[in-house]
Amino acid sequence: MKCDTFLIKYAEIGTKGKNRYVFEDILCKRIRVRLKELGSFEVKRDYGRIYVYANSEYDYDDVMERLTKIFGIVGVCPVLRTTLDLSKEDGGFDDIAETLIKHFENEFDSFDFSFKMFVKRNNKSFPITSMEMDARLGEVLLKKYEDEGLHVDIHTPDIKVYVEIRDQVYIYSKIIPGPGGLPTGTNGRGLALLSGGIDSPVATYMIAKRGVEMEAVYFNAPPYTSERAKDKVKKLGTICSEYAGPIRLHIVNFTDMQLCIYDKCPHDELTIIMKRYMYRMAEEIAKKEGLECIVTGESIGQVSSQTAQSLLVINEVINEIPVYRPLIGMDKQEIINLSQKIDTYETSILPYEDCCTIFVAKHPVTKPHLDVIKRSEEKLKGVIEPIYEKAMSTIETVVLK
């Protein structure tokens, strides 16, 4: 076993004052859920920190892969533990030294780097002071690895070697970065408009990262869009769920809505009017599910329906629930970079048509006027209502995890 314990580092939770325990408990719970199928683990708050103790064999890479995706975690340190022996005069030093070497063997392939020891003696029954332990353990490492390039640098070491002496001894020296953010479920719940593109999964990720538990809605248009397009959205939601926890995806059959709008409204206004109906439905779903925000992947000027004027007209249908657009000021390349980082990119670029590309006009309006759009929507009166109701009453909901 490469290590028997993981020390979980988290940043912002520590600033939450009295609420800190609530945040920590939620983070522990998320970790337990994510590790459940990988072995037997105990996740505990100890000494003001979170530890994951492995009680069975496990695959190190699988565990790391999961831990480093959980929101709220800024870093994961693989820890090797050993026991103290307070019946001995030196507290069991040899065993600590041996465990330190074992830790080095596990964590490093070569030893041509500088280090500094950071021994913390919380357990004052341990007979050797921290400073003396720093020196003695440093010597142990040098003796073993000096020939291979290991050296001490007390000002800017490449590696900080931590040895914490408590009821047991905890040794670690590597921090593998996590995604940061806040644990899912500590900041309310939201509804993402999730399409199969590059942008909306990134937007979902960004809001979920702030601790918002996400649901999602996808407007599907069979047979104009294929089953594969729907599967792609599910896949994207599933990737987001690796960070954000399970996501309930509401799939709305939007085909008849689109056909009705296509039939009655000017074609250069189709996208705007369709978006307005998507937003109306999204707000209704959010209210019904008790969600506190709507999230979209829009970015100013990216396409005709995302000019400032288009967004004004589209947003006008929203009555109560705020719409968050975390990508609003980002360039496409910045969004792509983020989607590559979170691993949604390869799925997003699969070439399955989404419902908007089928019904797009050759020359869509880029500066829609609200009164003109409202007048066009008048033409839908008396026709679209039952279609709208049917779409809302036949929503299929699946849980992605």
In DSSP terms, which residues pair with 194 in a beta bridge? none
Residue 306 binds ligand ATP, judged by CB under 6 A: yes
Shortest Cβ 228–ligand ATP spacing (Å): 14
Among 298, 326, 373, 380, binds ligand ATP (CB under 6 A): 298
The residue count for binding ligand ATP (CB under 6 A) is: 20
Residue 93 binds ligand ATP, judged by CB under 6 A: no
Read off the tokens for 232.
Answer: 């792609």
The one segment of 42-50, 158-166, 191-199, 239-247 that binds ligand ATP by CB under 6 A: 191-199
The one segment of 136-144, 173-181, 300-308, 370-378 that binds ligand ATP by CB under 6 A: 300-308
The one segment of 127-135, 190-198, 211-219, 360-368 that binds Mg ion by CB under 5 A: 190-198
Shortest Cβ 225–ligand ATP spacing (Å): 8
Shortest Cβ 182–ligand ATP spacing (Å): 22
Whether the Cβ atoms of residue 86 and residue 126 lie closer than 8 Å to each other: yes
| Sequence-ordered list of residues with C-beta below 8 angstroms from that of 66, at least 6 positions apart, any chain | 34, 35, 38, 242
Partner touching 170 among Mg ion, ligand ATP, none, CB below 5 to 8 Å by kind: none
Among 5, 187, 195, 339, binds Mg ion (CB under 5 A): 195
Longest dimension (CA), the chain: 91
Among 43, 265, 356, 384, binds ligand ATP (CB under 6 A): 356
The residue among 215 and 298 lying less far from ligand ATP, judged by its C-beta, is 298
Please spell the DSSP secondary structure of 207-261, one letter per residue. Answer: HHHTT-EEEEEEEE-TTTS-HHHHHHHHHHHHHHHHHH--EEEEEEE-HHHHHHH
Task: Cite the beta strand spans of 269-372 per DSSP E.
Answer: 293-295, 323-324
Closest CA to 46 of 7, 4, 99, 76: 7
Shortest Cβ 394–ligand ATP spacing (Å): 16
Residue 200 binds ligand ATP, judged by CB under 6 A: yes
Measured CA to CA, the distance from residue 62 to residue 244 in angstroms comes to: 17
**Please, what is the angle between helix 60-67 and helix 20-35, to 10°?**
140
Measured CA to CA, the distance from residue 14 to residue 256 in angstroms comes to: 50
Closest CA to 294 of 205, 216, 198, 206: 216
Closest CA to 35 of 16, 9, 53, 15: 53
Q: 350 to 389, contacts with Mg ion by CB under 5 A?
A: 354
The residue among 51 and 277 lying less far from ligand ATP, judged by its C-beta, is 277
Among 68, 123, 238, 302, binds ligand ATP (CB under 6 A): 302
Residue 99 binds ligand ATP, judged by CB under 6 A: no
Shortest Cβ 333–Mg ion spacing (Å): 17
The one segment of 21-29, 46-54, 102-110, 303-311 that binds ligand ATP by CB under 6 A: 303-311
The residue among 117 and 193 lying less far from Mg ion, judged by its C-beta, is 193
Residue 197 binds Mg ion, judged by CB under 5 A: yes
Whether the Cβ atoms of residue 198 and residue 186 lie closer than 8 Å to each other: no
Handedness of CA 137, 140, 141, 142 (dihedral sign): positive
Q: 233 to 272, contacts with ligand ATP by CB under 6 A?
A: none
Read off the tokens for 59.
Answer: 């695959």
Q: 211 to 230, contacts with ligand ATP by CB under 6 A?
A: 217-219
The one segment of 37-45, 170-178, 290-298, 315-323 that binds ligand ATP by CB under 6 A: 290-298
Measured CA to CA, the distance from residue 183 to residue 244 in angstroms comes to: 8
SS3 assignment, position 188: coil
Among 183, 190, 237, 297, binds ligand ATP (CB under 6 A): 297
Whether the Cβ atoms of residue 57 and residue 39 lie closer than 8 Å to each other: yes
Partner touching 372 among Mg ion, ligand ATP, none, CB below 5 to 8 Å by kind: none
Which residue in this structure is represented by tokens 């609530």?
22
The residue among 4 and 353 lying less far from Mg ion, judged by its C-beta, is 353
| Binding interface with ligand ATP (CB under 6 A) | 193-195, 197-200, 217-219, 296-298, 302-303, 305-306, 354-356
| Binding interface with Mg ion (CB under 5 A) | 195, 197, 354
